[in-house]
């Protein structure tokens, strides 16, 4: 396996790694959503600590959404394009180049 082939395999493996984390974060998002629904169901009975639980759950949903979007973009780029990473691996990043 030459350097070019290894670079493409590395870029694709990087994409699979981030695609795996998309699946993990989608599961986490589902759990957070179920938790939010159960907190709203409990909110009819108690009111003191419910507000902080709601804030933490909404914050968790927001950060999980950002993680899903970021990992999905990186996974898509690495699996279907990846030319920038490929060029950096094959040709190296040379700071002396001017052109």
Per-residue pLDDT, 63: 94
From first to last of the 99 residues of the chain, give the pLDDT tens digit.
777 788 888 889 989 999 999 999 999 999 999 998 888 887 776 666 788 888 888 999 999 999 999 999 999 998 888 888 888 888 776 555 555
Q: In whole angstroms, what is the distance from residue 66 CA to residue 2 CA?
A: 37
Per-residue pLDDT, 93: 60
- CA atoms 30, 31, 34, 40: torsion sign: negative
Per-residue pLDDT, 48: 64
pTM of this prediction?
0.76
Domain residues of the chain, as ranges? 23-90
Q: In whole angstroms, what is the distance from residue 20 CA to residue 72 CA?
A: 10
């Amino acid at each position: 396996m030459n350097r070019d082939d290894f670079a493409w395999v590395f870029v694709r493996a990087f994409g699979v790694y981030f695609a795996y984390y998309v699946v993990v974060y989608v599961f986490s998002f589902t759990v957070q959503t179920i938790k939010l629904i159960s907190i709203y169901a409990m909110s009819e009975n108690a009111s003191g600590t419910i507000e902080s639980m709601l804030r933490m759950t909404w914050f968790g949903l927001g950060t999980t959404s950002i993680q899903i979007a970021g990992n999905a973009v990186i996974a898509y780029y690495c699996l279907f394009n990846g030319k920038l990473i490929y060029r950096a691996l094959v040709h190296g990043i040379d700071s002396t180049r001017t052109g």
